[in-house]
A and B are shown apart, each in its own frame.
With several copies, the nearest count.
Chain A
Amino acid sequence: MQSNPLELTLCGIFLKNPVIAASGTFGFGHEYSEVMDISRLGGISGKGLTLNGSAGNKGMRVYETPSGMLNSIGLENPGVRHFVEHEAAYMRTLGPAVIANLGGHCEEDYLEGARLLNNADIDILELNISCPNVKAGGMAFGMLPDTAADITKKVKAVSKHPVMVKLSPNAPDLVAVARACEGAGADALSLVNTFLGMAIDVKKKRPVFENIYAGLSGPAILPIALRMVHQVAHAVNIPVVGMGGITSAEDALKFLMAGAVAVQVGTMTFADPNAMLSIIDGLAEYCAQEGLANLQEIVGII
């Protein structure tokens, strides 16, 4: 029997292909399951969770920019308990690997959240220390190697799931943060989260967002994200999941060649719900054309 050239193992978890829906852009799967065949995805990273849930930020939340968008959702989410009780089991029925994305405002939030997630049938815990849109915590944990390593170590100590740490492109020294997380026991890294950006409503003479700054994603950031993935993948020995502006199979191949074992796709799904399926098809075609037994052969060749 021909094996599937797209399959891979990430943190010991089987993925039928390296295309994962990015956290915060796919809910917990309900919505897009109505418009596309989401069972074909390699994985789904659910909306970022916080211990007690949150109503998110006030005011404008999404704003388009050239080939990108700013968001200031602020981790609106139903809380970890709700996820464990109501969403995790549903996500399991979908087929793709189940990734829970965990944010937090303080250390205890993260640890309690991670403990609760031990009761959920998920595959990977994505530790989000890079959300730029919450006031306390969030990105703050991901800015410096020490704090990033500290929270990683502590979450690893309580979690029974593999931990993939999601890094912020806004970190002053991203490579140092990556190495620190690796040293602290992270099973994998994912990057990038959104870039801190700003929009101004010239007519109103006001920032568009109540928090003034917001997170930039989409094709606009791809060149910078790709550079960062390349830097990080060459600096650590744990698997790296790359993202930032991916729109096509060709874009996904760039991240793989730069060293990512898998990719996540966020903003492009908003523009075209079928984008991830086209990417999967395109990657399969690429393997056939190039005669690759497994796509992982090209990982990190650059």
Chain B
Amino acid sequence: MAIIKSNSEIASAIWRMTVSGTPLGRAGQFFMLRVPGALDPLLGRPISICEIDAELGETTFVYQTVGRGTAQFARLLPGQEIEAQGPYGNGFPLKAGRAVLIGGGIGTAPMLQLAKELHASDPTRMIDVYLGFREEAYLEKSFEQYADSVTRNIGGYVVNDVDFSLDATYYACGPAPMLRAAASAADEASANLFVSLEKHMACGVGACLGCTCQTEHGRKRVCKDGPVFDYREVRDAI
């Protein structure tokens, strides 16, 4: 059981929650979060790791209140418990060299820990971050400590801002249309792109087959074999 350290709204309907008492994961992995005891909402909600503070043993999530489960998270106060099962999923591969991170909306969240890990693993590496928001930016400042550039787009298409012709690894997380646009751009430029996919999940560990998708290498489970895939493998599933 994790203990909530802080939980507050950082932008309209966007909340940041920090918890202690969970194992630490890595960028791109997620936890199934669940309010303890209640049978409704019943299932955990997959929420990505946004930032890990290994020293304090704390994990931060940033989540958007879209339905009953996330609305319930927003009512929790520091000191209360939350069930955090995980970390689950494969996480982002930390490829050597330059990195370009693209986050759309709440897809920004996992990019922060990714930036942190990329920077930590090689502080000399170039990191460019592109963030797209519909109306209001968040988390942007936090990227500055790790990134060489942070470009923000509000109301437009963030993928259009990105130069895919660099000798770099591209990482993207965001809504499906954004990922599809990134995939097309990567195709054209023959870029290396990793995407983090979203599917409705029940178990989060690969047992229920609720989140499978068709890939180049047969059916895969987004929760267990992903959520991060080389975009070429999952082109039809995006």
Binding site for B on A (CB under 8 A): 24-27, 30-32, 34-35, 47, 55-56, 60-64, 66-69, 71, 73, 76, 218-219, 247, 267, 269-273
Chain-A contact segment, one of B96-104, B155-163, B189-197, B198-206: B198-206
> Which 10 A-B pairs rank lowest in CB-CB distance, beginning with the nearest?
A62-B210, A31-B206, A62-B202, A270-B203, A67-B40, A31-B207, A27-B207, A66-B39, A31-B205, A270-B202
Whether the pair B210, A71 counts as a contact (CB closer than 8 A) is: yes
From B43, B83, B204, A64 is in contact (CB under 8 Å) with: B43
Tell me whether B208 and A270 are in contact (CB under 8 A). yes
Of all chain A residues, the one with the shortest Cβ separation from B206 is A31
**B212-231 near A? 1/0 per residue, CB < 8 Å:** 10100001000010000000
Contact of A27 among B83, B200, B206 (CB under 8 A): B206
Q: Judging by beta carbons under 8 Å apart, are B205 and A73 in contact?
A: no
Taking CB atoms, residues of chain B closer than 8 Å to A269 are 203, 207
Asked if residues A71 and B83 are in contact (CB atoms below 8 Å), the reply is no
Q: Tell yes or no: B119 within 8 A of A by CB.
A: no
Chain B neighbourhood of A30, CB < 8 A: 206
Q: Chain B interface residue count: which class?
A: 20 to 34
CB-contact partner of A60 in B40, B44, B200, under 8 A: B200
- With a CB–CB cut-off of 8 A, which chain B residues contact A27? 206-207, 209
Q: When the two chains form their complex, are residues B203 and A247 in contact, meaning their CB atoms are under 8 A apart?
A: no
A61 touches B210 (CB 8 A): yes
Write the nearest CB–CB distance from B237 to chain A, whole angstroms.
11
- A273 to B202, Cβ gap below 8 A? no
Name the residue on A nearest B214 (C-beta): A55
Q: Is the CB of B200 within 8 A of A273?
A: no
Per the bound structure, the CA–CA distance linking A73 and B40 in Å amounts to 22
With contacts A35-B205, A64-B43 taken as known, whether A271 is within 8 angstroms of B34 at the C-beta atoms is yes
Query: In the bound complex, how far is the Cα of B201 from the Cα of A71, in angstroms?
Result: 11
In the assembled complex, B49 has its CB within 8 A of some CB on chain A: no
Interface string of B161-191 (1 = CB under 8 A from A): 0000000000000000000000000000000
Q: Are A26 and B207 in contact (CB under 8 A)?
A: yes
B207 touches A62 (CB 8 A): no
A73 and B219 CA atoms in complex are apart in Å by: 13
Is B123 part of the contact surface with A, judged by Cβ < 8 Å?
Answer: no
Contact A76-B206, Cβ < 8 Å, known A62-B200, A67-B42, A271-B44: no
| Contacting pair B39 A71 (CB below 8 A) | no
CB-CB < 8 A to A219: which residues of B? 39-40, 42
- Bound CA–CA A32/B208 (angstroms): 11
6 other A-B residue contacts (CB within 8 Å) besides A61-B209, A62-B200: A25-B208, A30-B206, A31-B207, A32-B205, A76-B209, A270-B43
